[in-house]
Amino acid sequence: MSGFGYNVSGFGSFPSRVDPYDNVEYLVVAGGGSGGYVQGGGGGAGGYLTRAVAITAGTSYTMTVGAGGAGSGFGNSGNASDATFPDNNGDPGGTGGLSYTFAGGKGASVNNGAHGTGSFPYYGSGGGGSKDNTTAGIGYTSGNQGFNGGNGASYGGGGGGGASAAGANAASNYAGNGGNGSAWLNGTTYAGGGGGGVAINQGAAGQGGSGGGGAGSNTNSSAQAGTVNTGSGGGGSGTSSSGHGAGGSGVVILRYVGGQVGTGGTVTSAGGYTYHTFTSSGTFAA
């Protein structure tokens, strides 16, 4: 019989409840690569990984949030950092029960042969090629974490790869746009590629991809950084005085159905879900 909202199959029976930890959905985005220096390529977005897993109540999980690559003034770009979520089910590139997302590749720079590839042997999105190092960086397309950068050309850098699209190739006097990012379950787009830089006034600098990619520069503008906590790539510089944009830092987010039952990160609720957002490394206590 049933009554008062209970399904009764015998004395002592109670209504079933959904365990919020049976289906925890998470997003991990690594740090984005910085843009290249002088006619440089845009930085590749950090690896973008989303899954649904079961976790164990009473357990603490350490999240690692990756830093973006530094746009280090008059020189080569700095490297971005990977990010992790402790997923015991594993994932391509995961080791020791950790699911990794891999840092985005820095954009290639003029005259120095710096390749715009993400971290080896697995990648986020590749950085764009430069005027002299025209071949773009490779993205981790086989793991659906990112896409290739665009090739460089005369006076212009290619766009950095994004989470959902490759960076655009540069053409003569025109830099490539960054590849677009990807929207997650919270409605926010992450991991856009940075635009390439171009070294002439009339040249079109590359635009950043959706999700926070930084725009590149020409001689009349400054390269933009990738947006923080999106894992987006920074814009490439057109000249030595226009700077090259730093990559955006990464983010780790998890959500489960119902009200809050865990602690850690910034806690919000929307649409019947609780979200825990980590903008720096920290611990989620289930």
User: Would you state the pLDDT for residue 82?
Assistant: 77
User: Would you state the pLDDT for residue 33?
Assistant: 87
Q: Work out the widest C-alpha separation in the chain, in whole angstroms.
A: 82
User: Would you state the pLDDT for residue 192?
Assistant: 95
Confidence label for 85 from pLDDT (cuts 50, 70 and 90): confident
Please compute the mean of the pLDDT values over residues 173-198 and round it to a whole number.
94
More confidently predicted of 3 and 60: 60
Please compute the mean of the pLDDT values over residues 127-136 and round it to a whole number.
66
Task: Give dist(CA 33, CA 120) in Å, integer.
Answer: 14
Task: Give dist(CA 246, CA 21) in Å, integer.
Answer: 36
Burial class (CB in 10 A: 0-12, 13-18, 19+), 282: middle
Kind of pairing, strands 251-257 and 6-7?
unpaired
Task: Give dist(CA 42, CA 24) in Å, integer.
Answer: 34
Please compute the mean of the pLDDT values over residues 280-286 and round it to a whole number.
93
Please compute the mean of the pLDDT values over residues 271-278 and round it to a whole number.
97
Please compute the mean of the pLDDT values over residues 224-244 and round it to a whole number.
89
Task: Give dist(CA 245, CA 36) in Å, integer.
Answer: 8
Region of poorest pLDDT, from 97-101, 118-122, 128-132 = 118-122
Please give the share of the chain, as a percent, with pLDDT higher than 70. 73
Instruction: Pick left, alpha or beta for residue 15 (phi over 0 → left; psi -120 to 50 → alpha; otherwise beta).
Output: beta
Confidence label for 91 from pLDDT (cuts 50, 70 and 90): very low
User: Is the dihedral angle over the CA atoms 31, 216, 209, 170 positive or is it negative?
Assistant: negative
Kindly report the length of the chain: 286
Asked whether residue 139 carries a pLDDT value surpassing 80, the answer given is no
User: Per the omega criterion (within 30 degrees of 0), is the bond before 121 cis?
Assistant: yes
Asked whether residue 29 carries a pLDDT value surpassing 50, the answer given is yes
pLDDT single digits (tens) 52-68? 888 889 988 888 898 99
Confidence label for 88 from pLDDT (cuts 50, 70 and 90): low
Task: Give dist(CA 267, CA 133) in Å, integer.
Answer: 44
**Sheet strands side by side (includes 273-278):** 48-53, 24-29, 251-257, 273-278, 266-270
Please compute the mean of the pLDDT values over residues 193-206 and round it to a whole number.
85
**Are the C-beta atoms of 46 and 226 separated by less than 8 Å?**
no
More confidently predicted of 93 and 200: 200
> Residue 111's closest CA among 206, 240, 220?
240
User: Would you state the pLDDT for residue 73?
Assistant: 57
**Are the C-beta atoms of 69 and 260 separated by less than 8 Å?**
no
User: Would you state the pLDDT for residue 182?
Assistant: 96
Asked whether residue 97 carries a pLDDT value surpassing 70, the answer given is no
**Sole residue written with tokens 């959904």:** 18
- The pTM of the full predicted model, rounded to 2 decimals, is 0.86
Report the chain's mean pLDDT, rounded to a whole number: 80
User: Would you state the pLDDT for residue 69?
Assistant: 87
**Are the C-beta atoms of 175 and 157 separated by less than 8 Å?**
yes
